[in-house]
Homo-oligomer: A and B are copies of this chain.
Amino acid sequence: MSLNQLLSSIGNIIPLNKSEKEELSQRVVERKIKRKQFILQESDICKHYTFVAEGYCRKYKVDDKGTEHNLQFIAENDWITEINSFYFETPSRVFIEAMEPAVILQISKPDLIYLYSSSPKFNRIFRVIIENRFAELEERVLHNISSTAEERYLAFIRTYPQLSSRIPNTQIASYLGITPEFLSKIRKNLKLV
């Protein structure tokens, strides 16, 4: 059951005692989300820190020309939020959307603030969660500025082997910052080699 998934995922960071688990469990709300349904829409305020238990999501931004740009894919047992919008209560500039039917667990900001005060461990947990994501993001920037599209594509499928097979190529292209046509070209090339 998805709450256990969340507890064990957090337990990997720091083991929680019974009362901490209680506190956390009581403040988490489970939701079932359809494919293509939004978890967060642009210009809304991001009210939750979200744990993905089943399915996967994408976080993307729409630019002035209406083109979508994928910032992140979020697989099972991973956390997603829009930090700026969540903490500063400013309108979100991104969408978060389920790519497959999903089960998510959400914590509201007041509840999270409560948890931070109830045990210092929670502060630490959410610091570690964002630090992990930060390291990942920095890795990505590095690839973006130092690798060709082909190298980035190979790195992507190497880093997310299971997930990448579930993601349509259009979406992967948008994540890599190239057109789907050029991704096709790259894939064709790789087959020849």
Contact = CB atoms under 8 A, between A and B. Distances in A.
Nearest to A85: B135
Given A123-B120, A124-B123, A131-B87, A69 B140 contact: no
Q: How many copies does the complex hold?
A: 2
Interface residues of A, number: 33
A142 B177 CA distance: 9
Contact of A144 (B133, B134, B138, B141): B141
Interface in A85-137: 87, 116-117, 120, 123-124, 126-127, 130-131, 133-135, 137
A145 B146 contact: no
Contacts of A131: 83, 87, 130
Contact of A71 (B83, B133, B141): B141
Contacts of A141: 71, 137, 140-141, 144
